[in-house]
Chain A
Amino acid sequence: MSEALSAVVSIGFHGLAFAMVLYLISVGLSVTMGLMGFVNLAHGVFAVAGGYVMTRLIAAYGVPFPLAVAAAVVSVAAGGVLLERVLYRRLYGADELSQVLMSVGLIFMSVAAAKFLWGPLAQPMTPPVYLSGQISLGFRSFPTYRSFLILAGAVVVTLLWLGLERTRFGARIRAAVDNRRMAQSIGIDTDRLFTWTFALGCGLAALGGALGADILAIDPGYALENLIYFLIVVAVGGLGSIRGPFFAALLLGIADTGFKYLLPEFGAFFIYALTLVILLWRPQGLFGRA
């Protein structure tokens, strides 16, 4: 196979894996922002919490990989419900500045807590035996774990979209995003809906953080270092959208991988420039409604 084609396949593959992680983490953020109008900069905290729960369970207690991932999702979703009830709820409808500050405060606390509990170094992520090594697709081979990541991401995305389009819960969410007051007046309990949606978003973030632990390393600074990526996905994808962030994550994942592969001397510069241009061209995001 020619070298150029090989590079394209490689960028596409790793970009896709990165995009899946970004999407899983950010989709909850998009819904939270669209539904509650909450500028939650601390969403990455839920992702890194999921990563920590999984890696620690595997490393310290030898819990099997699937079980550790499930535990991460459930525990972080439960923690999300608690935080929503105690903290976030107080600031619905408050000004953006308060929401920004509260979530920055949460990030600070999470950074300190993670350093205190598990030290400053990144948690090692070792995929289980059956997911390590390479998988051959005839013309070339790919890392098994990344392939699994793409597959798992695709399954979750499909389930999510079906759930939103086909179930009553999904219909309620769509109604509340479109017009919250109208949804309330036809008897939808938006209060409870918020809590459940928040929990779902946190659980998905935990899933993304846990599965993507070998792409975005699990360390104390995670929520702050990757904040810009999550925000780009949401802002470019459009608030309150489920599909928009997917295409934004795809764009960001592949473009980021491509730029860093082809023009490493510029680092992430072009990604930021691209974001700038897109947001100026469409401030409501590529798929957001004006």
Chain B
Amino acid sequence: MRLGTAGRDTAPPAVEALLRRHRLRAWELAPWLVAVAVYFIFPGYLALGAQILISILFALSIDLILGYAGIITLGQSAFFGAGAYAAGLLAAHGWGEPLSGLVVGGLVGAALGLVSGAIILRTQGLSLLMLTLVIAVMLQEAANKAGSITGGADGLQGMEVWPLFGVFHFGLYGRTAYLYSLAVLFLAWLLARRLVHSPFGRSLTGIRENEARMHAIGSPVFRRRLVIYTIAAAFAGVAGALLAETTQFVALEVLGFERSGSALVMLIIGGVGRLYGAFIGVPIYMIAQDRFAQADPVYWDFWIGLLLILVVVFARGGLIGSIEQLLHRFRRRR
């Protein structure tokens, strides 16, 4: 919010501030300009680029429930994996149309989110944390053991994804994959942005900040949580389907804790509850990983762990939070 009012001497009245909240600001277009520029400047890195875009979408889905509804989840990969397997199975059994695969992935994710959310969101604290994790490991174990359907630990073989709109093939260089992922991410971002600035989004923030008070003013807390949980699950499902379609393969690890954990880390590095944390944290993490981890993955884990501890102890709010604080301090000094 601070960034938008730069250069003003007096704070705008409360009403105006509320109205300005959802107005699109110039810097919000920056990530998209960068993403389009990357397409032309680094044509050799589009496969990695598509991976990054998909991970941003996944991290965004975590941000929706963690950053806005305050639900700590360790099992978001359940929905990612469900979406990936849904799209993958569809393509492996003769229906390779990508857009409908995406829709199915999202729907499967949402359905799973709705059912599991309706069950586990009644609990809180450690139990809830545990249950999100339990759902994910349960699904992973099921996928692992149902080898005749999912391919088990070997992964799902034989996917055949048709060209996008019947024209654009998912080729070796990842051009189609990159633009396709970018378009999907853009739509998801528009939706998420609309969502968090809506009265519904504001009430979620209220629940995060003070649940008892939201109960007291008659807000249907459970239902609101369930709705955002389902929406976030749909986002994750779409991200999973995107990964399956662009790589034409589904590995068991799409359901693993590693995926949820590392996405959480990327989000934390960028900043939680700001909608842009994912856009900053994910590329930094994944590009650094691509550069350094191949040389020595051991060191990579070590430094990421250390960075995580430092962020938690010294830089709450991640990169965006730290920059905001710096700007704030700078402005006050002036």
Q: A-side interface residues toward B, CB under 8 Å?
A: 33, 39, 87, 90-91, 96-98, 100-102, 104-113, 115-116, 224, 228, 231-232, 234-235, 239, 265-269, 272-273, 275-276, 279-280, 283-284
| Given A91-B312, A280-B119; A108-B138 close (CB under 8 Å) | no
Does B5 sit within 8 A of A, measured CB to CB? no
Q: Which residues of A contact B66 (CB under 8 A)?
A: 97
- Nearest-CB residue, chain A, relative to B138: A272
CB distance from A223 to the nearest CB of B (A): 11
Does B27 sit within 8 A of A, measured CB to CB? no
User: CA A107 – CA B311 in complex, angstroms?
Assistant: 15
Q: Which residues of A contact B275 (CB under 8 A)?
A: none
User: CA A228 – CA B133 in complex, angstroms?
Assistant: 8
Q: Which label, helix, strand, loop or mixed, suits the secondary structure of the A interface?
A: helix
Of the A-B pairs whose beta carbons lie under 8 Å apart in the complex, a sample of 23, sorted by A's number, is A87-B313, A91-B312, A97-B66, A100-B129, A101-B264, A101-B308, A104-B308, A106-B305, A108-B304, A109-B302, A109-B305, A110-B305, A116-B298, A231-B130, A232-B134, A267-B144, A268-B137, A272-B138, A275-B134, A279-B123, A279-B131, A280-B131, A283-B127
Cβ contact within 8 Å between B145 and A269? yes
- C-beta contact mask, B109-126 vs A, less than 8 Å → 1, else 0? 000000000011011111
Does B309 sit within 8 A of A, measured CB to CB? yes
| Given A96-B125, A284-B127; A228-B145 close (CB under 8 Å) | no
Cβ contact within 8 Å between A231 and B133? yes
User: CA A285 – CA B309 in complex, angstroms?
Assistant: 30
For chain B, residues 268 to 322, give those with C-beta under 8 angstroms from any C-beta of chain A: 268, 272, 298-302, 304-309, 311-313, 316
Cβ contact within 8 Å between B301 and A33? no
User: CA A97 – CA B71 in complex, angstroms?
Assistant: 9
Q: Which residues of A contact B298 (CB under 8 A)?
A: 112, 115-116
Cβ contact within 8 Å between A101 and B268? yes
User: CA A112 – CA B304 in complex, angstroms?
Assistant: 10
User: CA A231 – CA B120 in complex, angstroms?
Assistant: 16
CB distance from A99 to the nearest CB of B (A): 8
Does B253 sit within 8 A of A, measured CB to CB? no
Cβ contact within 8 Å between B305 and A107? yes
Cβ contact within 8 Å between B138 and A105? no
Cβ contact within 8 Å between B126 and A39? yes
Does B149 sit within 8 A of A, measured CB to CB? no
Does B135 sit within 8 A of A, measured CB to CB? yes
| Given A279-B127, A283-B127; A104-B142 close (CB under 8 Å) | no
CB distance from A282 to the nearest CB of B (A): 9
Q: Of the candidates B72, B120, B299, B312, which one forms a contact with A280 in the assembled complex, judged by CB atoms under 8 Å apart?
A: B120
| Given A33-B126, A232-B130, A279-B130; A105-B302 close (CB under 8 Å) | no
User: CA A268 – CA B133 in complex, angstroms?
Assistant: 14
| Given A96-B72, A284-B127; A268-B134 close (CB under 8 Å) | no
Q: How many residues of B are counted as interface, with CB atoms below 8 angstroms from the partner's CB atoms?
A: 44
Q: Of the candidates B122, B123, B126, B306, which one forms a contact with A239 in the assembled complex, judged by CB atoms under 8 Å apart?
A: B126
Q: Which residues of B contact A33 (CB under 8 A)?
A: 126
Q: Of the candidates A100, A116, A239, which one forms a contact with B72 in the assembled complex, judged by CB atoms under 8 Å apart?
A: A100
User: CA A90 – CA B302 in complex, angstroms?
Assistant: 21
User: CA A266 – CA B146 in complex, angstroms?
Assistant: 9
Q: Of the candidates A91, A96, A268, A275, which one forms a contact with B129 in the assembled complex, judged by CB atoms under 8 Å apart?
A: A96
For chain B, residues 46 to 89, give those with C-beta under 8 angstroms from any C-beta of chain A: 66, 72, 74
CB distance from B68 to the nearest CB of A (A): 13
User: CA A265 – CA B141 in complex, angstroms?
Assistant: 10
Q: Which residues of B contact A273 (CB under 8 A)?
A: 138
Cβ contact within 8 Å between B265 and A104? yes
User: CA A64 – CA B131 in complex, angstroms?
Assistant: 42
- Nearest-CB residue, chain B, relative to A234: B126
Q: Which residues of A contact B162 (CB under 8 A)?
A: none
CB distance from B29 to the nearest CB of A (A): 30
- Nearest-CB residue, chain A, relative to B127: A283
- Nearest-CB residue, chain B, relative to A39: B126
Cβ contact within 8 Å between A39 and B305? no
CB distance from A249 to the nearest CB of B (A): 16
User: CA A97 – CA B308 in complex, angstroms?
Assistant: 12
| Given A91-B312, A112-B301; A276-B138 close (CB under 8 Å) | yes
Q: Of the candidates A87, A112, A275, A284, which one forms a contact with B309 in the assembled complex, judged by CB atoms under 8 Å apart?
A: A87
User: CA A116 – CA B303 in complex, angstroms?
Assistant: 13
User: CA A234 – CA B309 in complex, angstroms?
Assistant: 24
User: CA A51 – CA B178 in complex, angstroms?
Assistant: 46
User: CA A265 – CA B309 in complex, angstroms?
Assistant: 40
CB distance from A95 to the nearest CB of B (A): 9
- Nearest-CB residue, chain B, relative to A97: B72
| Given A235-B127, A269-B145; A102-B312 close (CB under 8 Å) | yes
User: CA A228 – CA B134 in complex, angstroms?
Assistant: 8
Cβ contact within 8 Å between A98 and B305? no
Does B261 sit within 8 A of A, measured CB to CB? yes
Q: Which residues of A contact B122 (CB under 8 A)?
A: 280, 283
Does B39 sit within 8 A of A, measured CB to CB? no
Q: Which residues of A contact B125 (CB under 8 A)?
A: 96
Q: Which residues of B contact A111 (CB under 8 A)?
A: 301, 305
User: CA A101 – CA B263 in complex, angstroms?
Assistant: 12
| Given A265-B145, A269-B141; A276-B131 close (CB under 8 Å) | yes
Q: 10 tightest A-B contacts by CB?
A: A108-B305, A105-B308, A112-B302, A109-B305, A112-B301, A272-B138, A105-B309, A283-B127, A283-B123, A105-B305
